[in-house]
Structure 1
């Protein structure tokens, strides 16, 4: 069958091959989010601020790397595809770079700091190499609302399954070896596990047969300037800005929660022994709820599913933050159930929405720019986690945390407040942002029909009132400035619709 976007059927084997890639995305971020700070402070001997600073420094590199990879994957032309070629190139770097993060290096304090800055930069390079093109695949393979939702559901099942592995095994591996060597063993095992899927992703997925527009070569600096101007236009897409607020509300809350979870359980609850089991229970609950979340998203839409999930997750965070060292194991697992069941939809829905944002962009620009949005979101994902971890490091210092020591009453009270209030506030921001979210199954179908009409040469003045209203509400522009009209008129930056 011809490889045409929206025509070639996406079968279950293709969905599984696609989802397999997020073993790396979900698993690596989970392990880094829950253990990297602890490793750097309690094993390597860096301060919380230094540990957070290492992750934050990586974002300076990402600011150039991820958008550049997204741009390349939009414009590259090879026999192995413009996006999927990166999956083959990234296999070895993924395995090596993740392993290097967990080497308990010896030497001066300055050497340790420099080494982990380098290792984290290398990891970010490998991550961007595969995950930026990967994030375009749902939009490349199909335009169907339900098929994309199923693909995202399967992807999230793999992602949360990897998070479960990251919750259950790493700490057990670490505890099985002395002097921090368990971290290195864990890093090697998971580095290999994260590298293997990319061959199968390459074999089981495809790209649309979009004919690349031939462009005259420009000097490098001019190309780079044009690249970042291109990325800047994404923020003029109203649906993208709403989506971004939803995404940050859920994912930054998750990053803060994950970064503080070990400290809360080990130092506030005095139950370090239940850390791995409790976290594993949260993750397996997330995986089990993925089919239900996918079904609800198809039937009721992304907005309602997201809000229900965020409310349940927020309840779980508040309940868990009120637990103490005297809390029964039954109550601990009940709170963990709320965390897992709510978090399932909170992390799935934002990724389910991203391909639809690219469709809205096409109505604005006439172009398919999945790489632009994938590169931008990979950068934002890593930046948000880095910022969260860095701020957690500052906050831990602010409340008086001392590694490997009994904490003062004031420190424990501060830790509890951080653990409860910050994620809950971010969740509330995510929920409030959905007031402006307009991508429903019905609106998406109307949008696609209008895009197809304009592609076929349909005139702007023949748009139906319903299509006009939908396109304006999704894009934030008056209809006359859509389909490249704003660029032709030089008014792309002037929004006319709220």
Structure 2
């Protein structure tokens, strides 16, 4: 039971929460669209599947370099506009523009030309997206120092972020609709332009209207310059080492890796189960059921799960809320066995409200808890505060785990005997796939609960840390 009330000075206005939420929408819309469009590299633009895999995987390896560097840069930046906001604005413009250019492909171009064109622009997009995402997440960690208000902020932002997952599944339907586009290539090119414009406009909003820590009160920042590049790189490594010495943060990363990537590993299985188990390989009969499955999942997460999880966190603490929401998701995963029912397709929506507690609870709570961890780091290691570095390392774990999930999902499909070349699949194959679709996310969720069992930053401890920091350096 909570014993603390949020002070007026620690509250974030509705408009500022909404402004931060627009950034979260962009943070979800760009990678979700990129992942979906990657499918059309093969079907619309004729890229060999192996080369397409490289085009998806190589930028993620590049991320492993750019994320921690950007985290260090934004933590140590000195500017009249703060440590985060200039990068957010520039990053939104750069990443949105590169996304539009990335997909202006022509099926008539040679495969070599398309490969190098896409790879080079993917690297530019990655730089732009890192410039936007890392400072943006770090800004969210520092917008308030209050234990409860951090959860409210992340709940509001995640609510808006779910809008991306409501609309992205319908891009499949739109691109395939001959009444909208002449072919897949034209559909991808035009949709990319619309997505780019939306992301640029919405992405600059938090950079203009959200407030972080008073920039003038941050001490011990490194000088960021080419002259100091050697010292700066050493600073990056020291910051990374310090983050991994933080046991609470390591638990957050571990639990996120398990829950999110267990979910990601089987995310594509729902499509195959709907098509081949429920509709016996008939794509015409399948229609828009997979798109509705994704949209309803996002809708349930936004309007039901996130408000409930936020309430639980502020009532019983973030750790307890995570454990409860993750247990509920395990029940939801189990119910998928009964939900994917060929006799009654509407049953696919039955497990969604419970399943959605997994991802909906995860990011609402983990981002709020990482903000608490940043306070603990300042108490142990002093300034400068490292919200940017913690944001970079946390999301790097998510990205690398997501890449691993993509690889493992293919291995699981091959292991259960799934053959994409067959119009239908055997009963044994679909039974094994359905079992994997339940056991994998439920098992990783259970392991995540064990990882978080001894997480020890409670509301009381968070307030004690805050009081010690204020006593040491005053309000910031």
TM-score (norm: length of structure 2): 0.85
Which residue of the other structure, out of 200, 203, 208, is the alignment partner of 2:208?
A: 203
Q: Does 1:356 find its partner at 2:357?
A: no
Alignment-derived partner of residue 245 in structure 1: 254
Please state how far the C-alpha of 1:205 moved relative to its aligned partner: 0.9
Please state how far the C-alpha of 1:421 moved relative to its aligned partner: 2.7
Alignment-derived partner of residue 320 in structure 1: 336
Q: Write the distance in 1 (CA, Å) between the matches of 2:243 and 2:15.
A: 33
Judged with a 3 Å threshold, the aligned counterparts in structure 2 of structure 1 residues 185 and 400 are, in CA distance, closer, same or farther, namely farther
Please state how far the C-alpha of 1:42 moved relative to its aligned partner: 4.2
Q: Does 1:310 find its partner at 2:311?
A: no
Superposition misfits of 4+ residues, deviation over 6 angstroms: none
Which residue of the other structure, out of 292, 298, 301, is the alignment partner of 1:277?
A: 292
Alignment-derived partner of residue 488 in structure 1: none
Which stretch shows the higher mean deviation, 202-211 or 67-76? Answer: 202-211
Please state how far the C-alpha of 1:125 moved relative to its aligned partner: 1.9
Q: Does 1:91 find its partner at 2:98?
A: no
Judged with a 3 Å threshold, the aligned counterparts in structure 2 of structure 1 residues 119 and 266 are, in CA distance, closer, same or farther, namely farther
Give me the CA root mean square deviation. 2.8
**Mapping of 1:281-296 within 5 angstroms?**
281-289=296-304, 290-296=306-312
Q: Is the 8 A contact 2:222 2:232 kept in 1?
A: no
CA deviation vs aligned residue, 1:340-391 (integer Å, no higher than 9, x gap): 3553213321122111111111121012111111121232222222222233
Q: Does 1:223 find its partner at 2:232?
A: yes
Which residue of the other structure, out of 433, 437, 449, is the alignment partner of 1:431?
A: 449
Please state how far the C-alpha of 1:302 moved relative to its aligned partner: 1.1
Judged with a 3 Å threshold, the aligned counterparts in structure 2 of structure 1 residues 238 and 224 are, in CA distance, closer, same or farther, namely same
Q: Write the distance in 2 (CA, Å) between the matches of 1:78 and 1:42.
A: 47
Q: Is the 8 A contact 2:339 2:350 kept in 1?
A: no
Judged with a 3 Å threshold, the aligned counterparts in structure 2 of structure 1 residues 387 and 102 are, in CA distance, closer, same or farther, namely farther
Alignment-derived partner of residue 150 in structure 1: 152
Q: Is the 8 A contact 1:173 1:183 kept in 2?
A: no
Q: Is the 8 A contact 1:66 1:376 kept in 2?
A: yes
Q: Write the distance in 1 (CA, Å) between the matches of 2:38 and 2:332.
A: 23
Q: Is the 8 A contact 1:306 1:345 kept in 2?
A: yes
Q: Is the 8 A contact 1:71 1:227 kept in 2?
A: yes
Q: Which runs of 5+ in 1 are unaligned?
A: 457-498
Q: Write the distance in 1 (CA, Å) between the matches of 2:76 and 2:43.
A: 45
Q: Is the 8 A contact 1:256 1:388 kept in 2?
A: yes
Please state how far the C-alpha of 1:332 moved relative to its aligned partner: 1.3
Q: Is the 8 A contact 2:339 2:349 kept in 1?
A: no
Q: Is the 8 A contact 1:259 1:389 kept in 2?
A: no
CA deviation vs aligned residue, 1:256-278 (integer Å, no higher than 9, x gap): 23343333333343335301112
Please state how far the C-alpha of 1:449 moved relative to its aligned partner: 1.9
Please state how far the C-alpha of 1:112 moved relative to its aligned partner: 4.2
TM-score (norm: length of structure 1): 0.82
Judged with a 3 Å threshold, the aligned counterparts in structure 2 of structure 1 residues 99 and 317 are, in CA distance, closer, same or farther, namely farther
Alignment-derived partner of residue 23 in structure 1: 25
Q: Write the distance in 1 (CA, Å) between the matches of 2:222 and 2:27.
A: 33
Alignment-derived partner of residue 331 in structure 1: 347
Please state how far the C-alpha of 1:455 moved relative to its aligned partner: 4.1
Q: Write the distance in 1 (CA, Å) between the matches of 2:15 and 2:228.
A: 43
Alignment-derived partner of residue 486 in structure 1: none
- Paired residues in the alignment total 450
Q: Which runs of 5+ in 2 are unaligned?
A: 1-6, 280-285
**Mapping of 1:118-129 within 5 angstroms?**
118-129=120-131
